[in-house]
Amino acid sequence: MSALALAVSPDHFIGGERVASKEHFEDISPIDGTVIAEISRGGAAEADAAVRAAHAAFPAWAALGPQGRAPYLHKLADLIDANVERLAEVECLDMAMLLRSLRARVISRGARNYRAYADLAVAYEERDWRSNGTWNRVQRMPAGPAAVITPWNAPFMLSTWKTAPALAAGCTMVLKPAEWSPLSCSLLADLIAEAGFPPGVFNIIQGIGEEVGAALVSHPLLRRVSFTGSPETGRHIAVAAGANLVPFTAELGGKGPLIVFEDADLDAAARKAAGQYDDSGQVCLAGTRLLVQDSVRDAFLQRFHAYVDEHVLGDPREDATTLSPLIHPDHLARVSGFVERAREAGDTIVRGGTRAGGLHYEPTLIEPRSNDAEVVQREIFGPVLTLQGFATEEEAVALANSTEYGLSGIVYTSSLGRADRVGRQLRAGTVWVNTFLVRDLTAPFGGVGISGIGREGGNYALDFYSELKALQILE
Ligand code: NAD
């Protein structure tokens, strides 16, 4: 199926207009390897045009204030809700997330993101107080044009999550989606136009990270850079933003622990552990290191294997499918490379460890020979979990905190005291106890260590996209 058949524009969206590049790149569906679009391959000229459009649109957008901006975000949210089916179909074809998840919750979360931030920005009152004979106020000034760079694994959800606070806070935007899944953001551009955003407020450019992405993040007219992706790319972008003294925020990779204590509901823990293979493990927040107390290892594993056996690898458009193909042949090679190196190094492949046709990979469990093993210490971003045992709570916490990452952690225990103790000790931006992926959009979201810099979520993100001014008037 071609972009024409999909009726998705392959072009950039700059200053409210579609703009084509001379060069294009192929967008391939992971479902069957067909080329579904030839996408405009932007470079320095497109990045410059988009930032200049955002720069020109900034004063009027900033002057609207939160109340004046909110109706645009609400309108965009309504249009997303009205187009769930189409967005879901395109996203499924483009990056193979399960169609039923996209229809049921993932796309509508995009609408929720814009609504939540429209309302949060209006409700976020300026603080004023008296001290030392002056009347003081904290004023939030919109920061200026912002760049947002997003990864391929949840392109629509993450692009809306990251652009909503920027727009609500009064920044204008240039969004650069990932080259492996560019289509849903192109549809988003259509909805931005339909929602009536002033031209230049929200621009979207397509292309390769090292080309248009690098040109974008080093542009001197930007006042904020926000990135979600790998720590490796994060380092490059941090350097570019740093060179221009532009505040930078990064949501990076994860290698979360899923800790199962002997007092846990083992069935619930095993079901959730098997659920870490969802989206074929292409989830930054996944608890990919199973840490299971020795006394319940066998009982846990028996249940875990039974739940993993229920997974069905297949076409993400089919209702019966629970595990989709991986995004790209290069990514499949990367994932299977981790497993092959583990095998050669003497780690035990407990289950899986093989390709399963097309871009599918079997759900895999590896028992490493030591905590230093590559599969324990590095993010794989595929359906590969590791299994390690522990005897005491202290040991569990030490293992959980033993990687450079610190995005998330999951704990299963029936003791509230232990939940509190362990939860407090984990070095992570988010910890879930007896649950996973439950999100309150006002909570801080981000990573510790190489999992990120700064926090998204609620007013934390609104502050990032603002300059805070202390205004002090002698009384
Ligand atoms: P990636 O770092 O390869 O690419 C992310 C984005 O950066 C893409 O749009 C890419 O085109 C762009 N890019 C690449 N090089 C660039 C450069 N030099 N300058 C500017 N932009 C550049 O990441 P990916 O493979 O798309 O995504 C997977 C990674 O994202 C994993 O590490 C995953 O954990 C992480 N992730 C983190 C979160 C989170 O919230 N913490 C969420 C989803 C994914």
**Which residue's CA is the closest to the ligand 1 atom numbered 11?**
209
Other C-beta atoms lying within 10 Å of the C-beta of residue 34: 12
| Mutate-to-test residue for ligand 1 from 233, 278, 279, 335, highest number of ligand atoms within 8 A of CB | 233
Place of tokens 């002090």: 472
Between the CA of 407 and the centroid of ligand 1 the distance, in Å, is: 15
Q: What is the 8-class DSSP label of residue 210?
A: I
Distance in Å, CA 253 to ligand 1 centroid? 9
| Strands of the sheet with 173-176, listed across from one edge | 17-19, 12-14, 202-204, 173-176, 146-149, 224-228, 248-251, 452-453
Mean pLDDT of 223-235: 97
Residue nearest to atom 12 of ligand 1 (CA): 209
CA atoms lying within 13 Å on the CB side of residue 426: 28
Q: 449 C-alpha to center of ligand 1: Å?
A: 16
Q: Per-residue b/e over 125-154, b at no fewer than 16 CB within 10 Å?
A: eeeeeeeeeeeeeeebebbbbbbbbbbbbb
What's the pLDDT score for residue 26? 97
**97-131 confidence digits (pLDDT tens):** 999 999 999 999 999 999 999 999 999 988 999 99
Q: What is the pLDDT of residues 164-199, one digit of tens each?
A: 999 999 999 999 999 999 999 999 999 999 999 999
Give the burial class of 43: count Cβ atoms within 10 A of its Cβ; 0-12 exposed, 13-18 middle, 19 or more buried.
middle
Q: Are 448 and 429 in contact (CB under 8 A)?
A: yes
Pocket probe mutation, ligand 1, options 153, 204, 216, 282, max atoms within 8 Å of Cβ: 153
Burial (Cβ within 10 Å: 0-12, 13-18, ≥19) of residue 22: exposed
Ligand 1 centroid to residue 250 C-alpha, Å: 10
Q: Which has the closest alpha carbon to 55: 203, 207, 185, 247?
A: 203
Residue 5: pLDDT band (50, 70, 90) is low
Whether 278 lines ligand 1, by a CB cut-off of 6 Å, is no
Q: Percent of the chain having pLDDT more than 70?
A: 99
Q: What angle do CA 30, 275, 401 make, to 5 degrees?
A: 105
Evaluate the CA torsion angle 414, 417, 419, 422 in order and state its sign.
negative
For position 6, what pLDDT does the model report?
74
Does the beta carbon of 179 sit less than 6 angstroms from any atom of ligand 1?
A: yes
Return mean pLDDT, the chain. 97
Range 385-409 average pLDDT: 98
In terms of DSSP bridges, do strands 256-260 and 408-412 run parallel, antiparallel, or are they unpaired? parallel
What is the pLDDT averaged over residues 153-158? 97
Ligand 1 in reach of 251 Cβ (< 6 A)? yes
Cα distance between residue 166 and residue 200, in whole Å: 14
In percent, the amount of the chain with pLDDT more than 90 equals 98
Q: Indicate the DSSP class of residue 228.
A: E
Pocket flag, ligand 1, residue 98 (CB < 6 Å): no
Q: Is the CB of 236 under 6 A from ligand 1?
A: yes
Which residue from 270, 260, 88, 258 is spatially nearest to 183, judged by alpha carbons? 88
